[in-house]
Amino acid sequence: MSNDNQNGQQKKPRAAEQQILSLGQLLQNMREDDSVDALIKTTIAYLQEGFDYPFLWIALYDESNKTLYGKGGLTPDGETSYLRRSIVIKPGNFLERVVTQLCPLGIANLRGESRASEWQEVANRYNIQGTILLPIRYKENCLGLVLLGSQRWGYLLSGEARAKLLIVIGELGILLYKNSHNNTHNKPENPPTQALLQLLENVRSANNLNKRLEAVVDATHKFISPSRTNIYWLEREGNYFWCRMSNNLVNISSVDSHKPGAIGITVQELSDVYYALSVNQVVWINETASSLKTNVKGKLLQRLGVKSILAAPIIWQKDLLGFLSVESHELRNWLEEEKHFVQGAAGLVSLVAPSEIIEGTIRQIQQDTQLTNQVAQAIYKEQGLDSALHICAGRILERLTATRFVLLQYNPTKNIYQVIFQSIRHHRRLWTFDLKELTEIDIQLLQNAKQALEIENFEADLRFLNWRRQLLDNGVRSLLICNCAQGQTPELLLLITHETNRSWKTLEKELLWVFSQNIGVVVHHWRLRDNTKDQQKISQGFKEYLNILTHTQSSTNETELAALKQIASVLEVPLAIILSSNPSQNWAKILPGVISNHQFGVVLDFHVSLEKDVIAELAIAHNSYLILKAEDLPAETRQWLTIPNNSKVFVMALRTSTENQPTSIVVLADYEEQNWREISINATVTLIHQLAWWQNQQQIIQNLESHNENLHKLNWYKHSRLEEIHRMSTLVLGQIRDLGIPANELTQMRYKLLLRQLDYITSSMTSMIKQEQWDLHTSVETMSISSLLKRAVERVDNLSKQQQLWIGIHGLGQSNDNRELSPTSSLAGEQTMTGSTLATTGDIVKIELVLHELLVAACQRSPIGDRVDIWCRPLDEKSLEISITDNGSIEPQLLAEFNQAQFSNTFSTSHISQPPGLHLVICKKMMQQLGGELQLYQLPDKRVVSRLLLPLASQNHEGSTLGSTSSFLGNG
């Protein structure tokens, strides 16, 4: 550090003798100073005069807490706040080397030193560059530090200046060491143990709490000698501390007379000091240092009007009751003995304070026990949940002096927390809003909680941020919140709120926690009971629903509407409809199922577009159900759907798989506040799926039965045709055999005619094979009724001869105006027919086969030797009637089933699943397909009537070729 060329920082010296005399005088003055402050003041004055350094700082070192405490110095602008600061020595800090290794340190530029972060503000403000740090030491003990800062770069001193500086600092170290051993100004006269024992005796002899607090304040004040000593008491409802006892104003206010306007300080003003005291920490603060990493020290010291404070908490049963505070108007570095004494004195208060309130606490515990028992009994009572909670909620609000009791339940569908119960005090407004979902951190916090979570100041707390704005806007400033199922995902939450910042005691929080767990059990019990009722209701509904789909004899639409009513009963909705359409249509018709409220309605004759209407479009596009709000529905939908604005709509398409295009859509509507339980929604979806499968099954069955019916008709028709072809072929072949080899011209002509008949037979077989392989082909032909009846009678000639039956044809020669004449009779095989003008049009071959089937059935029924009558008459200009009557017997059940054979189960009953009933039903359906009608019934005189209605041909078809040919072939 010696360099003769760099001594500009030292003032121009006087004569050598004069400098030595001046130094000697300084040392003499330092030895005569009787206090540390005077000693440091003398040293600062000498350094200021003898050295040209604009910044000077002297600090004392406390090795117990590794802290340098500023005692004074010099700044260019006279600002002293930087000189009283305290600096904690940290590993890696440039000060660590000075105080631990006792080595001087030079810094060329303090502003650029990264290890001197504490001095950056000072260095930048005063442009400090070259800096010298010298330890104040005595032997191997570091007692403090001297910092000299220059506005020039570099840190070297001349040899002479360096020698004088070391002499002064060395003498300062010796004097500080002697002072620390001899000066007892800051040390108590008695050790803490003895003082605390004396305090304990004084507290024991006091007869009430205030006297005991007074004894604690007096003893503490005498031991530490601060400016003032206070005991602050916590007022939870106002969330502030009031000065209950002070050495200046003894017994400022008692518990009984205390009011919110008393002297005190709010929890918000204490900030981190309050939270440290709450966890039983002793707190000390002065202008330069603090036991807390907080920026509140300046504001707090200013609020109390002091420079140093030492506080110890008064705690009972984990609750902070208040704190003992010693405060000084001067900067105090509190000794360990002082901290221990304050902590011990506060502990004494913690022991004696509960005695004043123990009786009230016992009564409160008894009331709390009674309250929790009352909640538990609600589980076994047959009353509503609201009534079970109402009295308990009022008691809880009164017990906790809160303003609102709220029970929240999570709605996973909407991802919100809904209010399911609330109780309020003093005519406040009920909450009509829902709370947003919680963050994952808040969910974990509630799930892991084992007690009620307390928020004393909701504006300053970072928990439950998603709720902050909503709750603050509704007057919530503090709250308690409990997860009603410990360890589970928070689905049911109990919320207790207050309109001011406040805190609650541990006993109160424990009460609320026990209450919340009981509430969780109660709600779970009622939820299980409601679910059981819902399940029983749904189970019964499923049985009725199954009966509707399996045992109904109604039409498809009637079955669908009956099923829809059952679906509507699950959700108990006032409106339920089906939008039904065909695959070939792009619109749907409205089928109303349930409309039980005048505010809900539909326009029945409205055609709903499947491509443009939002309900139909969304239902077809989604595989599951949708729930839409009424306010979101466009005007186009409101043209046919009338619902209130505060309602919701359930929409789901009927489909069996995602690949199938739905043809029907179920629409349900109800008020929005109606809570659709998940179990009810799932049941509704199941029933709708079942209805979709039923529709699909009905379609399949209808297609199969229609196909089966067609195959039955085809089989009967082809078999009958083959029988006729076989008969005609046998007849022609027999005639050919009888004719033999043609020997003359007449025989050859007859032979050629027979060959032509065989060719016609073959041609008729060809058309049947080609055109009617898997389905019937309908042709339009015309034939006279006389030819048709003659042909039919000829075909049953052998059967009538076997039964010795008489067959009579009546009415062919009668006009429309003379229908009641008696029929003409003839012998078996003979017919009395005058030239009739009646003819029919249609598929003559099939009509002839039907007529033949009816005659065969009549002949088979008739007794031997009886008669069969064929009656023919025109009904009007477009139709005629052919009735076949016989005296045979027919089963009544066959008649009943024949007349009921109109639906898809045509061939499933016993009497028409086989001939003759099967053939008769086939004839009936074939006549319906051909535009005619077949009826079978029994007259009062027991005669059986087979009534056939045929279309009547116009007069210009008279004598058609088909009729002649048929007659000709019949004479073969």
Residue found by looking up tokens 């330069």 in the block: 288
The whole-angstrom separation of Cα 401 and Cα 219 is 37
Dihedral sign, CA of 861, 867, 868, 873?
negative
pLDDT (tens digit per residue) in 307-340: 889 999 998 878 888 999 999 988 888 888 888 8
Average pLDDT, the chain: 80
Residue 535 has pLDDT above 60, yes or no: yes
470-494 mean pLDDT: 92
The whole-angstrom separation of Cα 176 and Cα 171 is 9
Residue 82 has pLDDT above 80, yes or no: no
The pLDDT value given to residue 520? 87
Angle at 507 (CA atoms; ends 506, 509), nearest 5 degrees: 60
How many Cα neighbours within 13 Å face the side chain of 832? 14
Residue 506 has pLDDT above 90, yes or no: no
Residue 368 has pLDDT above 80, yes or no: no
pTM over 0.85: no
CB count, 10 Å around CB of 399? 16
Residue 532's Cβ-count burial label (10 Å; 0-12, 13-18, 19+) is: exposed
- Percent of the chain residues topping a pLDDT of 70: 84
What six digits make up the tokens of 830?
């003979």
Residue 898 has pLDDT above 60, yes or no: yes
Q: Which residues, in sequence order, are bridge partners of residue 937?
A: 945
The pLDDT value given to residue 910? 61
Q: Are 695 and 703 within 8 A, CB to CB? A: no
Burial 360-370 (b: 16+ CB within 10 A, else e): eeeebeeebee
Q: Sort residue 811 into left (φ over 0), alpha (ψ -120 to 50) or beta.
A: left
Residue 952's Cβ-count burial label (10 Å; 0-12, 13-18, 19+) is: buried
Query: CB within 8 A of 389, min separation 6: which ones?
Result: 378, 407, 421, 423, 519, 522
3-state helix, strand, coil in the chain (%, to 5): 45, 20, 35
CA dihedral 532→534→535→537, nearest 10 degrees, is 120
Q: How confident is the model at residue 297 (pLDDT cuts 50, 70, 90)?
A: low
The pLDDT value given to residue 939? 93
- CA diameter of the chain: 188
pLDDT (tens digit per residue) in 625-679: 889 988 888 888 888 888 988 899 999 988 887 777 777 889 999 988 788 888 8
Query: CB within 8 A of 382, min separation 6: which ones?
Result: none
Residue 465's φ and ψ, nearest 5 degrees, are -65, -30
The pLDDT value given to residue 16? 55
282-287 mean pLDDT: 87
Q: How confident is the model at residue 820 (pLDDT cuts 50, 70, 90)?
A: very low
The pLDDT value given to residue 70? 86
CB count, 10 Å around CB of 286? 22
What six digits make up the tokens of 682?
């799932």
Cα–Cα nearest to 694, from 659, 666, 654: 654
Cα–Cα nearest to 492, from 518, 468, 472, 460: 518
Residue 512's φ and ψ, nearest 5 degrees, are -65, -35
Angle at 421 (CA atoms; ends 418, 423), nearest 5 degrees: 130
Residue 820's φ and ψ, nearest 5 degrees, are -100, 10
CB count, 10 Å around CB of 513? 21
DSSP assignments along 544-559, one per residue:
HHHHHHHH--S-HHHH
The whole-angstrom separation of Cα 628 and Cα 618 is 10
Residue 375 has pLDDT above 90, yes or no: no
Residue 759 has pLDDT above 60, yes or no: yes
The whole-angstrom separation of Cα 475 and Cα 425 is 13
- Percent of the chain residues topping a pLDDT of 90: 20
Which of 88-102, 362-376, 745-759, 808-822 is predicted with the least confidence, judged by mean pLDDT? 808-822
pLDDT (tens digit per residue) in 434-461: 999 999 999 999 999 999 999 988 888 8
Q: Are 203 and 212 within 8 A, CB to CB? A: yes
Output 953-958 pairs: Cβ under 8 A, ≥24 positions apart: 953/782, 953/839, 953/840, 953/841, 955/837, 957/782, 957/839, 957/841, 958/784, 958/837, 958/839
Q: Are 764 and 758 within 8 A, CB to CB? A: no
Measured CA to CA in angstroms, residue 200 lies from 194, 320, 324, 718 at distances of 10, 21, 16, 123
Measured CA to CA in angstroms, residue 180 lies from 171, 239, 294, 330, 337 at distances of 14, 44, 31, 19, 15
First to last CA, the chain: 154
